[in-house]
Amino acid sequence: IASWMAQCPLMESSVFKFRDVNFVVGSGNKKKHILENVSGKVKHGRVLAIMGPSGAGKTTLINALTLDAFYGEPSGSVPLNGVPLSGKIFKKHCFGKCT
């Protein structure tokens, strides 16, 4: 983790990007795509608002972006300053700092 921090310090130029984020629940012929190819970025100091009606997938998107899916399978690219994040690294170093 120390090498990750050296490569990707949290600083004023930090950029949190997400690309082609998907979230699938179920398996086989019962597989359902909840999120498909969601992309975006948030620069340091900016606020990201995710809005929509009840059941639109706001919480599912946040769970997929934080790599903290309670069910289903998240996929896609979720790097900070170009360095891929794992759920463990995100929770330890970014949670609350990248929002």
pLDDT tens digits along 5-30: 455 455 557 777 888 988 888 888 99
Distance CA(70)–CA(63), nearest Å, equals: 8
pLDDT in tens, 50-95: 899 998 888 888 888 876 666 778 788 877 777 777 667 666 655 5
pLDDT at 98: 47
**Is the pLDDT assigned to residue 31 strictly greater than 70?**
yes
Q: Over the range 3-27, which residues count as b (16 or more CB within 10 Å of their CB) and which as e?
A: ebeeebeeeeebebebeebbbbeee
Structural domains present in the chain: 2-94 (3.40.50.300)
Q: Please determine, for residue 97, whether its predicted confidence score (pLDDT) is greater than 80.
A: no
pLDDT score recorded for residue 94 = 59
Assessment of whether the complete model's pTM goes beyond 0.85: no
Residue 34 has pLDDT above 60, yes or no: yes
pLDDT score at 87: 66
Q: How far apart are CA 74 and CA 55, in angstroms?
A: 18
